[in-house]
Amino acid sequence: MRKLILILLVLVFFNSLFAKENVYRKKNGNYIDYDSLNIEIEKDKHYIFEGSGSSGIDNVLLYIKSENIFNKGIRPKIEFEPGKKGVYELDIRGFLKDKCLVSQKFYLHVKSPQLTPEELIEEPKITEIDSTKIIVEEKHEITEKIITKDDTLKTILEEKIEKEEDELVESSPKVKKKLVDLNTASLDELKTLPITEKQADDIYDFRFYQQFFQSIYDLRKISSIDQKTLNKLKPFVSVSHYDDKDDAAQRREEIYYLIQRLGSNEGLQEGMSDVWEDYLITPRNINKLSFTEIQNMPNVNAQDAAAILRRRAYGDTLANARDLRQTPGVTHYSYTNLRNYVYYKEKPTQNRLFFDYQLKFNTEPYESDAIEMYKEPMRGSTEKTSSYWGFFRMDDISAAVMNKIRIRYQNEWKAGLMYNSNKGEQSFLNADSKEFFNDAKFYLGYEKEFDLAGRNYIKLYGGNFRATYGEGLVMENTDYYSPRKTGYGFNKRIKGIIGDVSRTQQYSLKGLALDWQRKELNAAVFFSIDKKDAIIYDNKGDFLKDENGDYVYDADSLLIPIPDGKIDDQDDAFSYLTMTRRFTDDELASAEDYFNVNTIAPRRDAVEEKLLGAHFEYSPFIGTHLGFTGIEAVYDRDFIVPDGDDLKDLLIDDSYDFNKWKSTDNEISSLYSTYSDSTKYGYDRNYRRVLGLEWQTTLNNTSFQGEYAEMSLTGNEFKIGDDPKALILSAYTLFNDFYILSLYRDYDLEFDNPYMRAFAESWRFDDTIFEKSYLFRNTLLTEMYLNSAQPSAERGVYLETRYRFNTWMTLSRLYLDVWERKSDARKSYRFEGKLDFRPIYQQRFRLRFKQQQKRNEDDLDRGKSLSQEAEITLSSYLSNRDRFMLGYIHGRVVQPPYLSISDPGDASGDDMAQAGNVLTHGDYIFADYTHNLNKNLKIIGSFAVWKGLGISFWDFEDVNLDFNHDDRGYKYWLTIHSRIANNLFFSIKYKYKKQMSRELEFREYNDIPETGQYYYQNVKTSETSIRAQLDWKF
């Protein structure tokens, strides 16, 4: 199968190499390339281009195509409006380098890939100007016209166009000289045109019942108007701008594809997408934004922000998009991302109210690890009701539903409300007022710009808000972990304070936040009071008594608490916990009574956290700042982590399994405690405090940034290095076709900050006993691993680059990460490279290779493993922005055997450690197709089949990631994106997945009967799910 797929892909590859783009013959006998027209022009000349755009699909783009002759990489460009004939000046003299030879020549490249042979416009005319005369090419005849001092170049050609139109109008006896406006003309006026009465009726009905005309080429959408009729009508009609939508609705129309992409974001970027969408609809003035505000825009980096501020510092105002593009230091990539979010001069103030409603509905099952946790039997039984899955009958549970409303008055007053119900949780329709208030998220915000000794910008938020500063060591409150989060590209952080109605629940902040910015200063203070879910364990109730019934005191004359067999408000907390499904406390207590497990369990809203935070930042000059961030969280319940065997006994159900505790579990024993009875470093407090220092500077095309933080434990507050600490340093160098990022991080094991979201290769509790739900007294403890958002304690160096060799080959991403895990000193590396090859515009090949090795420093270490993954993908870009993609992935893993599967040695004997490594491999084949039926309706479909044999595959579907790690299976899904109206968007996705797991092997190894009332019987499983999203905006 693999050989067959590779042969097919190679054949397609070679076929694309020799494929030629279409060339069409024009009526006048000249040839014109379907994709481009090259015209030779000379240095130190002034040119005018006359022509029109295409038929309303894509504008014609002109840009100078030449290598190494322009100042600072600037390439002048002209954009023609679709279907509109006009005159455009292009003065290239100011862009050439001073030392460019006069004899050098270059080309004007005209590109419009959307044109068809029938729609080819009139051949463009190049007009060469010197100080005294204009030379115009008209019907292959050269004529001259003397220019007086009062003439302008533009006026001359405009007069020529006007003259041509007048001659055409006067040549028709049926029409008047005045052009007929297709958008305003009456039916009688349309009947004066040189067309039949039926055609006039069709034009009138099309405008009245379907749409106004955007260009004359819209006439071709009418069945009775052919190309010949259209050509005949061109001299007699015009199309005025007529639209019944307001400017915000028009803006939404222009950037529909961006809004659709942002609206589908989930997880880490969900809250940020709300902010970016607001900027899309009502852009902000680029001439007033601060460094941080510019850098917060999607895919804009520090170098671009500094370049814009430097230009403004010289008193040069950015007047339009061309000014932004030609700003020295602003890359083309950043310009294309930024241009949709900004404008260039003040607009008249309008009292505008914006409303956004979003509904998301999802029936997808839990992830496989969560299902395994819920199905893990309690009390050593295999009966169905002995697991959380069976007890709560989770085979048939309600879908996840999110309702979100955002309201904005201009760009000043902002409000939001969101209620999210995870799978199986109570809907807001069934919640009482108290439950609704506790579980819903909401905010009210005010943002205002004012002048007071310079520009000032203030933000004030009440309710739920998001606070992010520095590199994520001190404060970034989200429930979601992102591996290798560099802070660049798609791993952006929006720094500062924003309103939060994302689905972050556990680490949301609820209170008041104030943020003040000016040119050189930024100060913020925020306060939150919120209840957090946590793991609670029974360690208090009564006090220890002797045989006579008298209380026993410790060395400090304090009573000694003992468990009372129930979990209540007196007991201590073990750690914060993010729940997959937020069971109520009553539900959890009933299950624990049934399982007879009352020693440790999750509890909802178990700890009240009062958090006070502050940030101060000073910028001495453009692109450089120094900042300080600090937070202190005060708790109403102690966090206490037992020592030694007491910790094992608290977590592990059977003392026989204590030997499964290993060095990586140091991440568990190093969790933060508010109390310590150490004779040397004893303390008793009710808070956790983290302080950090962050900085950034930009030098030319390189930015340097970093952050250092400490968590107060036993050291001196005013001494650096005597408390658990974390450090991150990075440098980012950017060119037009190349960038390189280097990053170093070092996090102490005891640096347990729940709001830390910095760069890391893995999350906290990875490869600890929290992965093994079968060991615990309460299987829900596995959620400590499943839903951890904190990075793992590690030290390492990360390098990443991208290089564009030429127009057809790009090394789109290449990175190497070498790190050491602090819990067990394991050294590992991870490498991945992606190479894009595009021999023609419509075809792209992508080659990807990934390799990761754990414990690479010791060949004799039994825990050593090596995983490799190779992928080849072909993407074909079809007409109307359709796309077809075909891909193949092969993975292989060399690792120690799982004895329950391969059984190479006696699991209880001495030969267990001598069993050699095993090789497993798997294959994954997928095909995706995107079809745009029209500008309002898009369909995406995909099919995938795999044979894993122990290999796992990550698959990015249209809006979410899917993890496939079963032995074999297949799936397909279909998504429909529809713009029902100008302000109403709807998408729905259907997915079917069938797979076979290794449950049979596990059952046979553990000698579990296959008959009777047992839960795990079928090794084949199938899933059907629906995701739907509705967005209403006005």
Helices (H), 172-315: 187-190, 197-205, 227-233, 247-254, 256-263, 270-281, 291-295, 302-313
* Residue 80 maps to a domain: yes
Whole-angstrom Cα distance, residue 298 to residue 629?
24
Quick: pLDDT tens for 537-565: 988 766 666 677 666 766 665 656 667 77
H or E, element range at 1002: helix 999-1005
Three-state SS for 243? coil
With 0-12 / 13-18 / 19 or more C-beta atoms within 10 angstroms meaning exposed / middle / buried, residue 866 is: middle
Point out the domain boundary residue: 434, 461, 495. 434
pTM of the model: 0.74
Residues 43 and 136 in one domain: yes
Query: Which range (110-114, 261-265, 309-313, 677-681) has the least confidence?
Result: 110-114
Q: Which two tokens stand for residue 278?
A: 């607001």
Whole-angstrom Cα distance, residue 275 to residue 498?
8
What DSSP letter does each residue of 497-555 carry, written as one string?
EEE--SS--TT-EEEEEEEEEESSEEEEEEEEEEEEEEEEE---EEE-B-TTS-B-B-T
Range picked from 86-95, 174-183, 485-494 for highest mean pLDDT: 485-494
Three-state SS for 306? helix
* Residue 159 maps to a domain: yes
Tokens 């322009």 belong to residue: 70
What Å distances lie between residue 652 and 106, 655, 779, CA to CA?
A: 75, 7, 10
Which residues lie below 8 Å from residue 53, measured CB to CB, with a gap of 6+? 59, 60, 80, 81, 82, 83, 84, 112, 121
Residues 51 and 143 in one domain: yes
Query: Which range (36-40, 336-340, 385-389) has the least confidence?
Result: 36-40
Point out the domain boundary residue: 206, 238, 270. 238
Residue 608 or 256, more confident: 608
Residues 120 and 151 in one domain: yes
**pLDDT at residue 301, as a whole number:** 86
Residues 179 and 99 in one domain: no
Quick: pLDDT tens for 20-69: 333 322 323 322 333 333 444 444 444 444 443 333 333 334 444 333 33
Query: Which range (139-153, 330-344, 1003-1017) has the least confidence?
Result: 139-153
**pLDDT at residue 264, as a whole number:** 52
Point out the domain boundary residue: 168, 185, 207. 168
Residues 158 and 184 in one domain: no
Find the mean pLDDT for residues 674-700.
85
Spatial contact of 42 and 105, defined as CB atoms under 8 Å apart: yes
The CB-side HSE value for 42 (13 A sphere, CA atoms) comes to: 9
Structure confidence at residue 341 as a pLDDT band (50, 70, 90):
confident
* Residue 52 maps to a domain: yes
Residue 629 or 426, more confident: 629
Structure confidence at residue 1004 as a pLDDT band (50, 70, 90):
very low
Residues 141 and 184 in one domain: no
Spatial contact of 570 and 640, defined as CB atoms under 8 Å apart: no
Q: Which two tokens stand for residue 699?
A: 């030098």
Residue closest to 844 by CA, chosen among 809, 879, 804, 881: 809
Range of the domain at 205: 172-238
Question: Cβ of 379: how many Cβ atoms within 10 Å?
Answer: 12
Structure confidence at residue 385 as a pLDDT band (50, 70, 90):
low
| Amino acid making up residue 696 | Q
Quick: pLDDT tens for 980-998: 887 888 999 999 998 876 5
Packed helices 256-263 and 247-254: angle between N→C axes, nearest 10 degrees: 80
| Amino acid making up residue 722 | D
| Amino acid making up residue 55 | S
Spatial contact of 385 and 541, defined as CB atoms under 8 Å apart: no
Residues 188 and 224 in one domain: yes
H or E, element range at 645: helix 644-651
Residues 132 and 230 in one domain: no
Looking at the predicted structure, is the pLDDT value of residue 630 above 80?
A: yes
What Å distances lie between residue 608 and 461, 588, 638, 916, CA to CA?
A: 21, 20, 11, 51
**pLDDT at residue 833, as a whole number:** 96
Spatial contact of 504 and 478, defined as CB atoms under 8 Å apart: yes
Q: Provide the percentage of residues in the chain whose pLDDT is more than 90.
A: 32
Quick: pLDDT tens for 698-743: 998 899 999 999 999 888 877 888 899 999 999 999 888 889 999 9
Spatial contact of 811 and 801, defined as CB atoms under 8 Å apart: yes
* Residue 564 maps to a domain: no
* Residue 181 maps to a domain: yes
Residues 78 and 149 in one domain: yes
**pLDDT at residue 557, as a whole number:** 58
∠ CA 80-932-227, rounded to 5°: 55
* Residue 123 maps to a domain: yes
The CB-side HSE value for 987 (13 A sphere, CA atoms) comes to: 19
Phi and psi (nearest 5°) for 681? Answer: -125, 40
* Residue 215 maps to a domain: yes
Question: Cβ of 448: how many Cβ atoms within 10 Å?
Answer: 12
**pLDDT at residue 234, as a whole number:** 86
Torsion sign, CA atoms 285, 287, 291, 294: positive
Quick: pLDDT tens for 563-577: 777 888 888 999 999
What DSSP letter does each residue of 883-907 carry, written as one string?
EEEEEEEEEEEEE---HHHH--S-T
Residue closest to 459 by CA, chosen among 515, 379, 387: 515
Residues 111 and 151 in one domain: yes
Residues 134 and 102 in one domain: yes
Region for 365 from its dihedrals, namely left if φ exceeds 0, alpha if ψ lies in -120 to 50, beta otherwise: beta
∠ CA 512-294-798, rounded to 5°: 95
Residues 182 and 150 in one domain: no
* Residue 875 maps to a domain: no
**pLDDT at residue 516, as a whole number:** 94
Tokens 């000016």 belong to residue: 518
Phi and psi (nearest 5°) for 341? Answer: -110, 0
Whole-angstrom Cα distance, residue 620 to residue 626?
9
| Amino acid making up residue 485 | K
What Å distances lie between residue 734 and 295, 492, 629, 651, 704, CA to CA?
A: 15, 16, 28, 49, 12
β-strand pairing of 918-934 with 937-947? antiparallel
Looking at the predicted structure, is the pLDDT value of residue 793 above 50?
A: yes
Which residues lie below 8 Å from residue 305, measured CB to CB, with a gap of 6+? 291, 292, 294, 295, 623
With 0-12 / 13-18 / 19 or more C-beta atoms within 10 angstroms meaning exposed / middle / buried, residue 390 is: middle
Packed helices 247-254 and 270-281: angle between N→C axes, nearest 10 degrees: 120
Domain count, the chain: 3
Quick: pLDDT tens for 883-893: 999 999 999 98
